[in-house]
Amino acid sequence: MKIENNNLILTEKGIIFLRLSDEEKYNLLFKYLWSKDFTKEVLDKYETDHYEKSKELFSQSISTLKANKEYKINNIFPTNPDFFYFYYKYLKYLGLIDYDLYINYSISFTSLGKKNI
């Protein structure tokens, strides 16, 4: 997108993006949010390498969890909660998790975010 004569104009890439299916748009958004480029843009005060390592630990921590079951955040991420606190809102916007940070201090993965095993 670009601004031309006070109007917002779609560029060629913008038009191509609009032609994508919802699934393809969702996939692009998720890949971007999970990328090192996103981490670099958003985290000026933190080391990108630290968050890349934390991302791997996060993936390992959630790999055995089941969908639609509530888990205590402190039990899942006892040594590395900073990555969760950075990403939880994005994961919620994508429909991958539900969380309660005020009463139960818990997280659950939606069926979209986790396969039932």
Domain boundary assignment for the chain: 22-109
Rounded alpha-carbon distances, angstroms, from residue 114 to 19, 73, 83, 86, 98: 28, 17, 19, 20, 12
Please state the length of the chain.
Answer: 117
Is the torsion defined by CA of 9, 15, 20, 26 positive or negative? negative
Query: pTM of the entire structure?
Result: 0.71
| Torsion sign (Cα): 14, 86, 112, 53 | positive
106 touches 72 (CB < 8 A): yes
pLDDT digits (tens, 9 = 90+) for 28-42: 988 988 888 887 777
More confident call, 107 vs 113: 107
Q: Average pLDDT of the chain?
A: 82
